[in-house]
């Protein structure tokens, strides 16, 4: 865990939570759980619409990172940032050469392929950027009435 995330246990309210997680299904589940806990620490209740939307977006982006952006021995990074009017989510994986497909409806009988449609539906803005030759970051912002009250 980064030092910025450890300050939450000290009664401080950091504006950013950063953690690296293993590129495994367990890492993706942990990303969602830690997101729910961090939002609660920021004063965004578990049962709020904002918490539900942010957790869903994190789950989809983490799942994509471990499914499509995984390299053996490389983790993915989750960043949550509390902004004045939104929660920003960033998931960084190790496959910059694999751009995101356009979110298009999957066939009715398909068992996969709806993740980016969910991100598009629940995030107010989202996109992808390759900041270097080794990583790709998919980001999303969910507007939050709760975060506006905290700022």
* Helix (H), strand (E) at residue 68: helix 49-68
Q: What is the pLDDT of residues 61-91, one digit of tens each?
A: 999 999 887 778 789 999 999 999 999 999 9
Q: What is the pTM of this model?
A: 0.81
Sign of CA dihedral 122, 129, 100, 77: negative
């Amino acid at each position: 865990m980064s030092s910025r995330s450890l300050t939450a246990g000290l009664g401080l309210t950091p504006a950013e939570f950063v953690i690296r997680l293993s590129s495994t299904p367990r890492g993706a589940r942990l990303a969602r759980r830690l997101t729910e806990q961090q939002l609660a620490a920021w004063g965004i209740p578990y049962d709020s619409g904002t918490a539900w939307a942010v957790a869903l977006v994190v789950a989809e982006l983490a799942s994509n990172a471990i499914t499509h952006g995984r390299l053996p021995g490389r983790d993915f990074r989750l960043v949550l940032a509390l902004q004045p009017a939104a929660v920003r989510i960033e998931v960084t994986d190790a496959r910059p050469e694999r751009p995101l497909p356009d979110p298009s409806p999957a066939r009715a009988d398909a068992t996969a392929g709806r993740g980016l449609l969910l991100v598009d539906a629940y995030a107010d803005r989202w996109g992808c950027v390759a900041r270097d030759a080794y990583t790709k970051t998919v980001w999303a912002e969910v507007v939050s009435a709760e975060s506006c009250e905290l700022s």
